[in-house]
Structure 1
Amino acid sequence: MNNSKKVIVVTDGDEYARKTLDYLAKELGGTCLSYLSDNPTQASSEEIQKAIYRAKEEPVYVLLDDAGILGVGAGEKILLDLANDPDIEVIGAIAVAAHTKNTEWSRFTFAIDLNGELIPYGVDKQGVRLPELGRINGDTVYSLDQIDIPIVIAIGDIGKMQGKDDVKKGSPITRQALEIIMERGGLI
């Protein structure tokens, strides 16, 4: 996998996530495919794979979103296709929390709460710690457990979390998650 493109998957594709990841790609380096993100994801696996191959700088940030669709939605199907592509290495994922009423969940390596603390408990959309140990509810997280990703970091809603992850403040929570994934993936 030495020549494979290093990818970080983000399970959110709304306007806040796009703005945040565009900003952080400029700050941390890498290529953000925000122009292919949507809520829900409309791009095909093939479109995203071709964009990853063309990316000039790594990591490549891929935003996937199912917009609350239960089961394997468009974003999760793309995630599975990326994981099975020998020319792509998913070095990590940011699992973004959804409303707790959602029945889909995933395991994660650890979570980062709205105060930037690394915790073993899940978080809600606001980044507030939940009593659930090692699980996060989300709408594009179901497939994360089906593939081998070295690190999955759970966080609240990107660019929000009671204003603490606002892009005007440098999106410190999302930034911290990306930096940890990049460090463990050998990119910094």
Structure 2
Amino acid sequence: MQKTRVIIVTDGDVTAEKAVYQASLNVNAYPLTLSAGNPTPFSGPELVLLIKAAPYDPVVVMLDDRGQVGQGIGEKALETLLKEPEIEVLGVVAVASDTKQAQGVRVDRAVTNQGEVCHRPVDKDGVPEAPGHQFLEGDTVEILNRYPEVKVVGCGDLGKMEGQDDYRKGAVITTRCFQEILENSSV
């Protein structure tokens, strides 16, 4: 049985949804807009069913803990997707937030608010963190520390970053994140 390929995005608010939708179209991925919400409106098993019903892949899924520190509904759903044998997670766009006391996650790469790829985390505005700063802080990312084999691309707040990722301008930063994942996977 062929696995359904998935890109996961750790943000689900309305602005992120618009950017994810546009970026998905830009890279010929299927935007699972039903997964958008703050917090995530579906459980992991429900999302698996929605993903498997998608008309084509890769499928882009949005997950969000709504600022909750620790494992919230978005992270629980994320772990379900990572463990699902019929799904191949191509990578995760880990979105930075202002969540206090978040442990964060190491990123393989990050895309800045200028669309440049760097090898350290960025903050919520898409600005590269200072050298030596090793973790991207976000509210729906810490579970990824248990899965070091998963490709993680860091990003600032989707659809925002001082207008640099506006969906009306093509959601170029979110698109670049998706391209990073797709270019470095078996797609």
TM category (shorter chain) comes to over 0.9
Residue matched to 2:64:
65
TM-score, normalization by structure 1: 0.93
The DSSP-based 3-state class of the residue aligned with 1:18 is helix
The DSSP-based 3-state class of the residue aligned with 2:40 is coil
CA–CA distance in 2 between the matches of 1:117 and 1:35?
30
Runs of 4+ in structure 1 deviating by more than 3 angstroms, as ranges, are none
TM-score, normalization by structure 2: 0.93
Q: How many residues align?
A: 186
Gap regions ≥5 residues in structure 2: none
C-alpha displacement at 1:27, in angstroms?
2.3
Gap regions ≥5 residues in structure 1: none
C-alpha displacement at 1:100, in angstroms?
5.9
Residue matched to 1:182:
182
Is the Cα contact below 8 Å between 1:30 and 1:59 reproduced in 2? yes
C-alpha displacement at 1:26, in angstroms?
2.1
CA–CA distance in 2 between the matches of 1:118 and 1:27?
18
C-alpha displacement at 1:85, in angstroms?
0.8
C-alpha displacement at 1:20, in angstroms?
1.2
The DSSP-based 3-state class of the residue aligned with 1:7 is strand
CA–CA distance in 2 between the matches of 1:25 and 1:117?
19
RMSD of aligned residue pairs (Cα, Å): 1.5
- Are 1:32 and 2:50 an aligned pair? no
Higher strand share: 1
CA–CA distance in 1 between the matches of 2:79 and 2:59?
16
The percent identity for this pair of structures is 38
Is the Cα contact below 8 Å between 2:26 and 2:175 reproduced in 1? no
User: Any residues of structure 2 matched to 1:80-91 within 5 Å, and which?
Assistant: 80-91=79-90
CA–CA distance in 1 between the matches of 2:65 and 2:53?
25
Is the Cα contact below 8 Å between 1:37 and 1:43 reproduced in 2? no
Is the Cα contact below 8 Å between 1:29 and 1:57 reproduced in 2? no
Residue matched to 2:136:
136
Is the Cα contact below 8 Å between 2:96 and 2:136 reproduced in 1? yes
C-alpha displacement at 1:168, in angstroms?
1.5
- Are 1:161 and 2:161 an aligned pair? yes
Is the Cα contact below 8 Å between 1:5 and 1:58 reproduced in 2? yes
Structure 2 residue identity aligned to 1:180: E
Residue matched to 2:104:
105
CA–CA distance in 2 between the matches of 1:150 and 1:56?
24
When structure 1 is superposed on structure 2, of 123-132 and 5-14 the one drifting more is: 123-132
How big is each residue's C-alpha offset from its partner over 1:113-160, in whole Å with a ceiling of 9 and x where there is no partner? 111121122211111121154310000001111125442100100011
Structure 1 residue identity aligned to 2:123: D
